[in-house]
Structure 1
């Protein structure tokens, strides 16, 4: 699973360069997120624009990444496709995460929900 990262001030943007986050790659996803996020920054924006499929294992991996950041840091999501957005709505995880329409909108916001 490939990622691309961009740093802007105290925000780390992580672009997921894969079409799927599922059982086959969930562990790899969590491991890479741990490596990329380290102990900083305060905000991490996960750009899921290229992700077209997310199953329960993938959702669990995203939640695990949020927990990895701890209480003092935030994981925000951006660019959810309609299929991925539906998973977050059906599981009510859309009330747990700040979700932005796009990564650019997230990077230019003060962490307000979109």
Structure 2
């Protein structure tokens, strides 16, 4: 599982550099996200732009990452591929997560909220 991150003012952008989050990598994804959120700022934006496939294990891993953020911290999603967005919509997880059209949109909305 390849996750890259960059820290900006009060936000950490974590990019998934894989085309799939599935049963084969879900545990590694959860572990890496937990480590990245432990010392992260109040906002974490998960860039899923490269992810074209997300199965139920992958969805569970993203939900586990949300549950792992500490109090006062937020996990937001950005740049969902249409097939991934459909999984979030069909499972109604789109009502649980804040989902942005792009990372740039997430960063802009974060500035507006300050």
TM-score tier by shorter-chain length is: over 0.9
Report what 1:40 is aligned to.
40
Report what 1:69 is aligned to.
69
For 1:20-35, list aligned pairs within 5 A: 20-35=20-35
- C-alpha distance in structure 1 between counterparts of 2:12 and 2:46, whole Å: 8
Report what 1:12 is aligned to.
12
- C-alpha distance in structure 2 between counterparts of 1:63 and 1:39, whole Å: 19
Instruction: Calculate the TM-score normalised by the size of structure 1.
Output: 0.93
Instruction: Calculate the TM-score normalised by the size of structure 2.
Output: 0.93
Secondary structure of 1:87's counterpart equals helix
- C-alpha distance in structure 1 between counterparts of 2:87 and 2:49, whole Å: 15
Q: How far apart are 1:39 and its partner, in Å?
A: 3.6
Residue pair 2:38, 2:70 contacting (<8 A) in 1 also = no
Worse overlay, 27-36 or 67-76: 67-76
Residue pair 1:14, 1:47 contacting (<8 A) in 2 also = yes
Report what 1:2 is aligned to.
2
Residue pair 2:19, 2:53 contacting (<8 A) in 1 also = yes
| Higher percent of residues as helix | 2
Residue pair 2:76, 2:98 contacting (<8 A) in 1 also = yes
1:83 equivalent in alignment to 2:89? no
- Superposed CA RMSD in Å reads 1.4
Q: Which blocks of at least 5 consecutive residues in structure 1 are unaligned?
A: none
> 1:60-81 deviations in whole A, cap 9, x for unaligned?
0000000000341110000000
